[in-house]
Structure 1
Amino acid sequence: MSSCASSSSVRLNSMKMQERRLALPLLGVLVWVLSIHSGTYAGATLLPIPITGAGLLRTSADQREPPLPHAYDRLLVTPSDLNDSVVFAERILDTLHRLEANLVSAKVILKDGTPSQGEFAAGTPEVEALQRGRQALRAVEASIQLVVHMCGSMSFNYKDCARFMNRFSLDGTPLGSSCEHLTKKCTAEEYGYMYRSGDGLCNNGKNGAWGEAFTAYARLLPADYLDGIRIPHRAVNKRPLPNPRLVSLTLVTNTGIPTRDLTLAVMQWGQFLEHDLSRTAVSVMRRRYNRYLYRSCQEFQAIGENDMFLLILLLLSFDGVHSDNTIRCCNSDNYNLSPRYIHPLCSPIEVPASDEYYHKHNVGCMNFVRSVPAVRSDCSFGHAEQLNQATHFLDGSQIYGATANKTASLRAFYSGRLKVSKAQFPPLSSHPTKDCLVSSDSDVCFTSGDSRVNFEPVLTAMHTLWFREHNRIADRLATLNKDWDDEVIFQEARRIVIAEIQHITYNEWMNKVLAPRYVRIINRLADYSPNTNPSVSNSFATSVMRAMKSLYSGKIWLVKEGRLENASVLNLHEHYNRPGVIQKPGVLDEILRGFTTQSSQKLDFAFTDDLVNKLYSDGNYGYDQLSLDIARGRDHGLPGYNQFRELCGYPLATSFEDFSDVMSQENIEALQKIYNDPADVDLIIGGLAETPHASSVFGPTFSCIAADQLLRTRRGDRFFYSNPWQPKPFTSEQLKEIKKTTFARIICDNAEDIKQMQPEAFKKLSDSNKLVNCDNESLIPKLNFIPWANTRDKYSY
């Protein structure tokens, strides 16, 4: 490899100046495709002014962006050009495999037990994500080649050229098969099946792939990339945006302000909801290298000088979505790698010189690997899109998984039950040292439908509650219906669990995080519409829900039954991906009492040190959650806060003072310290800086984005529990029982020995929300399962 690299270097140094002019627009060019076509956007957001500021969001690319210059009308792209670009992309892939083989051979991969391994565990890609990601990879590499080939020698703007390539379909090229899942035509049997599919397919009859797992996030605004393909955009002054860690260091305070009336359960349910709706996959390297290991440098050099130049540029932009060989972007001493060992997908966060904490721990680099790409929803060439491993529906995929194989691995296959480990906890992982930050395969590490089950003990407690709730319901159904087999019991229990999650989200939680006017709009427009695309927006998944980490506390209260005193506290940073503590006698109940007693923090720049310095701590240091989330937003091409602010009905700011309609002067001044222009402010940062609405967790812009998503998630789901037009709707008697569900009841029914709970678990104890006995069914209603008895004829299939 070194001789090849040396030869390549000589060739590059000898290139003519006119060839080098391509370097700027293509350096770091990335690999995914973000559609600005009909069907890729989130569909019409049904929220009227002032929530979106523009009524229905239009789905046409031409309506969203300025028309292309007339010169593009004369640009002829032939089928041969499209096919040649795909062939070129395959050559790029072949060459990258050799580079990755050398990285693996040199052991430039993540080390178990480190913060970088903890970060990777949260975004571990599933097999299906890798398979689809590879197809997306080829499509974008081909798109890059098209832009270079068709526009590189002309005075075209690369962003415009990338938009122009959106007009051309992958259909008819060797990549045409990569879109078969996007054009899924549901059969009458599939569409009429009484239970929702595990992967989200065929929820919508005309658009079978809407909401399916392993498809692209939607867009509320067109993606913003420097080159129109995948290079993160720059500041208005053309310089790089501020270093994410520097942004965090400048803005974050450690003096959290608790809310007056909300418990930490609000944050925890929000995280549980986020994991139900979104799961971004982190890229990895491909395992199969053998047929590339013996290629000679002569073969490598035979590509040709001009193509070699493009090859090097494209390698810099390559997404190695290929296997479980992880990508390491920092060396073993936590500083920058030597250039020969840098994977093209690496985008490490450098530690600024002013960072006293990290320099004290000799850390100069945070690992950051770019996300797995997705094939564009309109199956076209073009710019980058990211893949969602969860279904886009609120359907318990974090419990049950989003693939048939995952669901099967979690089922007991008797009496409709899910597998559980000792003391009715979720099943144990087969690979603890990979899935958790533990030192031995005998250590406790759980598995669930989502790999983040072990993130911290309170989240593990949430998964435990719902595994138990499923099995509790399955046992009741089996007792009432002796003739039901395992499959019917499982599907009926799953159906009820999903209904409970949906009811709690829209009847309890939503009222706590959104202002009443948003709640009224969502409830008024809630009826199912087959024209509503439920797909999760990139901005909701990557910024709004990630910002809720601000609600965390660094201390997890363990509270005794009377709520008068704490048993003890857990330090959050000591338990990332180390869930064993939850199995100690009494701890689960103490956690459940704790997060329904402890105050939630406010959504602001106050982050606990456990999140901004000690995330996935190895006992020495950890990572910075906010820095990682800022970097991920840029990686995904999210436009700046100012553009989303305008989308949501506020004037486009031309000065920082224009933010005064939604921000305090203190926060405006804080933003000015780190950003040069209001247009440069990252979405997640602008959202955190806004003053929350009264009776709301979020400020105006995040409220707009969250309300849009919550409406489409409900309105676009044919199987939403209250929809009477699904194949087998709940009966009126069954609906009446489901609507009794409260989070307090879920805790009472599935804890070890909790005797009392306040009726509104998301609200703090008060004179109007006192502790009551769990057997008080008038204040904490209990479901009656009699309406599900003796209904085998209704549930045959």
Structure 2
Amino acid sequence: MVAVPVMVGAVLWTASQLTGLVNYSREGQPIGTPRILPSFYAKLQSGALRQEATPWDGSGIPPLFLMSEMSGKASSNFPKVTPEDVAGSLNYVKDVLGRSLRLELSIENANVRVLEGSAEHGQLIASYPKKESLRRQGNGLLAARASLHLTHTLCKRYGYKGDKCVEFLSTIDLGNTEVGKHCDWKKGGENEIITSANLLCHKNSPYRMEDGSCNNPNNPALGKTYTGYRRLLFPNYADGIQQMRRSVSGNPLPSARHISASLSPDSDRPDQVTTLSLMQWTQFVEHDLAHTPSATMLNKGASITCCRDDGFPLAPRYQHPSCSHIEIPSNDPFYQKHRQQCMNYVRSITTIRPGCTFGPTEQINQATHFLDASMIYGSDAETQRTVRSYDGGKLKVKEQEVETSTGKRTVTFFPVSSEPLDICQGISIKGHHCYHGGDSRANEHPQLTALHTLWLREHNRLADELSKLNPHWKDEKLFQEARRIVIGQIQHITYSDWLPNVIGTEYYEKLFSENEEQGTEYNDDIDPSTSNEFATAAIRFARSMMESSIKLYEENRKVNDTIFLRNHYNQPVVIEKPGHFDSLIRGMATQNSQQMDLLFTEDVTSLLWMEDKPYGMDVISLDIQRGRDHGLQPYNKYRELCGLPLAKTFDDLLDVMPKSVVEKLQKLYSSVNDIDLYVGGMSELPNGKIKNIGDFNKKYQKNKSEKSLVGPTFQCIIAEQMLRARKADRFFYDRAQEDSRSVFTPSQIAELKKASLARIFCDNGNEVLRMQQKVFEKPSESNPMNFCNDKTNIPSMNLSPWVETF
């Protein structure tokens, strides 16, 4: 990995010294003075900006959509801070460089590192930081540690404590300091945005930038790769700045693994309607909108581990400050037989806060914040260059001959990665091979790899067709036009097929119904950035829908073989075995997913990334710990934000949770205000199963049979994010015809609306002959199997509207 300048190494020692200086609100109240965003509903109806959020009456847009960007707002009540105070704090942090160097040197000399082929290696691959993330890691840590220092100096000077102190710090501009110069954007005058000088935008270009920049003409850095996540509520850190959240009593929260083991026993409960393709598409959307990297050593970029190889925590002298390992109880139902007491968790990379201020830490997103197929093409220019062939507009592939019913034919797969240690477990040990594409997470497991491969082939198929229609088009034009179409197809499938299934058709129509003839209205006042709550909790609901046994189906939909998830983490070449690729595709459209609930397969709760040992890691524990790492408020706060009554006792949760689950939560948490967002959201019943939700039910959910996969809180957070991803995207595929250079023509939009995942399966499998039109649902009388050459029941795009005329 690439080294980071040593001057930022100073923050390491400081991290272990400057903690516990601020007593954060024990009730978890959001702090800061929020700026109210324009009401989406008011904007749609009248174009006017609403200045204040009003209580929700069950109609229109829920309160969540009226919330602010919680980035802090200057208050005239706070004193002005001198440049000397700011510079002094940053210089103090850098002055401890020598101690941090010795700490990392001690760790390296002891050979404390992630071992190749271990489950920790799989964990590192999933959150592998890119070069730019590593560079920003130093600046983010400097700002955070300097903020901690200011709590001990400025806050003490002015008599500010707790919430008031953190609110004050969030108004202090990093300005022209050494760190502030690296801000993507900061406030200038009253309505002025200053962006970093390296952003060069071509406003008249019809094509997206690789890194998501320049989408918003007024703020080119908004939604860009390597910027921080947006927040729905101000962060909740134990010290106000970076220390992981604690109980409202001040005690540590219960172990994430203890919660997981107590709530989530392995149980086989298939969903009777939903197929594995919906679970897989959820992960596809997640990877497009979010990629959170984990910290590494600052001086050399080496990996960090927090547990000894024998399963015990490292001695304090070898514990890196970025470690926050998960304690495994001695009586754990699974890990006790393997004598494991420590599960590795390395904290996420932080970045400079939005608005370029001091204050609580924010985590970095190394994906773009737009639904723009960045997991296929890469989320920066460097990655995109490596996946392009620069021949006929195509992506790089490797070719292979396969047997079909009509003889041999040549098909394509991703090329083998030239840096396998970064993305593939056990490359030296067992000779594994991994693929190189736009996102290394495409190698995680076979069905995800197959889905990525389908879209690789779709891009190249489109490039070939466009070349035939427009022989004069050069490589760049062919690539960009094929990319535009792929993004449009993915957006249409996501909003027309996937999202209504997840949040429910009624809820979807309330928020997304527009005049289709006019198209989506672009709103440059809306921040498109992915929310931390969406990326870290809500979109992760589909983990519970995963299957341990991946069935392989013949064309007649009979099972001919089974492979196990636990044996194929980061071993993607299994899709190249004879017959496997098509069998995996049919399986995604045929095999029942597991129900969305608190029951997870053992393959993800104890065997995740299992490779060289008879055990792996636990995805639930990691997701809970990540929420605490990111300073997410407790579940109760988001429940209230989304229109449900604030729970005062555990019994108040019975309006949306089963009694048996509430009883378990009461045993695990000392207060209803301690429940982690991920745990609370996963504990809620899907809306169609909620029988008594009080006022919320009377005002909004009049149709109790309304089907959704998630409960009210995750429904609300997911819908909020997807609404932003559509309204704040200047290049959204069905955008209203205002600027013909940046949107599709009406005839092109009509063709894009024919897109379906069924057609993608048909056109890009090796030899898939039949498919149901709605692949997120099981084949049935209302969703029958059709032959792939039936263009009526499985429509196919006509690319003639892309013929360029002169």
Match status 1:364 vs 2:376: no
CA–CA distance in structure 2, aligned partners of residues 22 and 728 of structure 1:
49
Residue type at the aligned position of 1:735: I
Match status 1:456 vs 2:469: no
Residue type at the aligned position of 2:615: Y
CA–CA distance in structure 2, aligned partners of residues 411 and 142 of structure 1:
42
Using a 3 Å threshold, how does the CA distance of structure 1 residues 44 and 207 change in structure 2: closer, same or farther?
farther
CA–CA distance in structure 2, aligned partners of residues 773 and 199 of structure 1:
39
- SS of 2:298's equivalent in the other structure is coil
8 Å Cα contact 1:540-1:709 kept in structure 2: yes
Residue 527 (structure 1) shift? 2.2
Structural mapping, 1:340-355, within 5 Å: 340-355=317-332
Unaligned runs of 5+ in 1: 1-11, 13-19, 29-33, 289-322
Residue type at the aligned position of 2:258: L
8 Å Cα contact 1:456-1:575 kept in structure 2: yes
Residue 168 (structure 1) shift? 1.1
Residue 188 (structure 1) shift? 9.6
Structural mapping, 1:375-774, within 5 Å: 375-423=352-400, 424-440=412-428, 443-524=432-513, 526-563=520-557, 565-618=558-611, 619-694=613-688, 695-723=707-735, 724-726=737-739, 727-774=741-788
8 Å Cα contact 1:644-1:701 kept in structure 2: yes
Map Cα deviations across residues 269-327 of structure 1 (whole Å, 9 max, x no partner): 00000000000010001345xxxxxxxxxxxxxxxxxxxxxxxxxxxxxxxxxx2x000
Using a 3 Å threshold, how does the CA distance of structure 1 residues 111 and 35 change in structure 2: closer, same or farther?
farther
Using a 3 Å threshold, how does the CA distance of structure 1 residues 35 and 732 change in structure 2: closer, same or farther?
farther
Using a 3 Å threshold, how does the CA distance of structure 1 residues 350 and 263 change in structure 2: closer, same or farther?
same
**Higher mean displacement: 626-635 or 136-145:** 136-145
8 Å Cα contact 2:185-2:354 kept in structure 1: no
CA–CA distance in structure 1, aligned partners of residues 57 and 210 of structure 2:
35
Match status 1:214 vs 2:226: yes
Residue 217 (structure 1) shift? 0.5
CA–CA distance in structure 2, aligned partners of residues 46 and 257 of structure 1:
39
**Higher mean displacement: 722-731 or 461-470:** 722-731
Residue 556 (structure 1) shift? 0.7
Structural mapping, 1:272-287, within 5 Å: 272-287=284-299
CA–CA distance in structure 2, aligned partners of residues 778 and 239 of structure 1:
62
Quick one: higher RCO (CA 8 Å, sep 6+), 1 or 2? 1
Residue type at the aligned position of 2:738: W
- The aligned counterpart of 1:140 is 144
Map Cα deviations across residues 184-214 of structure 1 (whole Å, 9 max, x no partner): 2899962221101111111011111111111
Using a 3 Å threshold, how does the CA distance of structure 1 residues 254 and 21 change in structure 2: closer, same or farther?
closer
- SS of 1:761's equivalent in the other structure is coil
Using a 3 Å threshold, how does the CA distance of structure 1 residues 89 and 44 change in structure 2: closer, same or farther?
farther
CA–CA distance in structure 2, aligned partners of residues 60 and 662 of structure 1:
28
- The aligned counterpart of 2:10 is none
8 Å Cα contact 1:42-1:535 kept in structure 2: no
- SS of 1:406's equivalent in the other structure is helix
8 Å Cα contact 2:63-2:641 kept in structure 1: yes
Aligned residues: 727
CA–CA distance in structure 1, aligned partners of residues 220 and 717 of structure 2:
25
CA–CA distance in structure 2, aligned partners of residues 344 and 189 of structure 1:
39
Match status 1:788 vs 2:802: yes
Residue 329 (structure 1) shift? 0.4
Residue 513 (structure 1) shift? 0.9
Residue type at the aligned position of 2:363: Q
CA–CA distance in structure 2, aligned partners of residues 114 and 43 of structure 1:
48
Using a 3 Å threshold, how does the CA distance of structure 1 residues 176 and 189 change in structure 2: closer, same or farther?
closer
8 Å Cα contact 1:514-1:697 kept in structure 2: yes
Residue 775 (structure 1) shift? 0.3
- SS of 1:191's equivalent in the other structure is coil
Using a 3 Å threshold, how does the CA distance of structure 1 residues 38 and 196 change in structure 2: closer, same or farther?
farther
**Higher mean displacement: 425-434 or 629-638:** 425-434
8 Å Cα contact 1:123-1:280 kept in structure 2: yes
- SS of 1:570's equivalent in the other structure is strand
8 Å Cα contact 1:432-1:438 kept in structure 2: no
- The aligned counterpart of 1:223 is 235
Using a 3 Å threshold, how does the CA distance of structure 1 residues 36 and 748 change in structure 2: closer, same or farther?
farther
Residue type at the aligned position of 2:552: L
- SS of 2:427's equivalent in the other structure is coil
8 Å Cα contact 1:42-1:536 kept in structure 2: no
Report the RMSD for the aligned CA atoms in angstroms. Answer: 2.6
CA–CA distance in structure 1, aligned partners of residues 792 and 349 of structure 2:
49
CA–CA distance in structure 2, aligned partners of residues 458 and 234 of structure 1:
38
- SS of 1:386's equivalent in the other structure is strand
Using a 3 Å threshold, how does the CA distance of structure 1 residues 142 and 35 change in structure 2: closer, same or farther?
farther
Residue 43 (structure 1) shift? 7.3
- Could you state the TM-score of these two structures normalised by the residue count of structure 1? 0.87
CA–CA distance in structure 1, aligned partners of residues 101 and 39 of structure 2:
41
- The aligned counterpart of 2:195 is 184
CA–CA distance in structure 1, aligned partners of residues 399 and 769 of structure 2:
22
8 Å Cα contact 2:425-2:432 kept in structure 1: no
Map Cα deviations across residues 392-438 of structure 1 (whole Å, 9 max, x no partner): 00000000011111000000010000001233111211122331113
CA–CA distance in structure 2, aligned partners of residues 497 and 479 of structure 1:
18
CA–CA distance in structure 1, aligned partners of residues 38 and 367 of structure 2:
19
- The aligned counterpart of 2:92 is 88
**Higher mean displacement: 104-113 or 697-706:** 104-113
- The aligned counterpart of 2:307 is 330
Using a 3 Å threshold, how does the CA distance of structure 1 residues 44 and 198 change in structure 2: closer, same or farther?
farther
Residue 784 (structure 1) shift? 1.1
CA–CA distance in structure 1, aligned partners of residues 764 and 282 of structure 2:
20
- SS of 1:25's equivalent in the other structure is coil
- SS of 1:568's equivalent in the other structure is strand
Residue 790 (structure 1) shift? 2.9
Map Cα deviations across residues 113-135 of structure 1 (whole Å, 9 max, x no partner): 00001001001011111112222
Q: State the identity as a percent.
A: 40
- The aligned counterpart of 1:304 is none
- The aligned counterpart of 1:59 is 68
CA–CA distance in structure 2, aligned partners of residues 61 and 55 of structure 1:
13
Aligned residue among 252, 260, 265 for 1:248: 260
Aligned residue among 172, 194, 201 for 2:176: 172
8 Å Cα contact 2:22-2:151 kept in structure 1: no
- The aligned counterpart of 1:320 is none
- The aligned counterpart of 1:295 is none
CA–CA distance in structure 2, aligned partners of residues 690 and 553 of structure 1:
21
CA–CA distance in structure 2, aligned partners of residues 108 and 21 of structure 1:
22
Unaligned runs of 5+ in 2: 1-13, 25-29, 43-55, 187-193, 401-411, 515-519, 689-706
Residue 155 (structure 1) shift? 5.5
8 Å Cα contact 1:474-1:493 kept in structure 2: yes
Map Cα deviations across residues 598-642 of structure 1 (whole Å, 9 max, x no partner): 112222110000000100002411000000000000000000110
Using a 3 Å threshold, how does the CA distance of structure 1 residues 42 and 405 change in structure 2: closer, same or farther?
farther
**Higher mean displacement: 673-682 or 634-643:** 673-682
Map Cα deviations across residues 454-486 of structure 1 (whole Å, 9 max, x no partner): 111000011101100000000111111111000
CA–CA distance in structure 2, aligned partners of residues 666 and 198 of structure 1:
48
Residue 53 (structure 1) shift? 4.5
- The aligned counterpart of 2:46 is none
CA–CA distance in structure 2, aligned partners of residues 783 and 254 of structure 1:
43
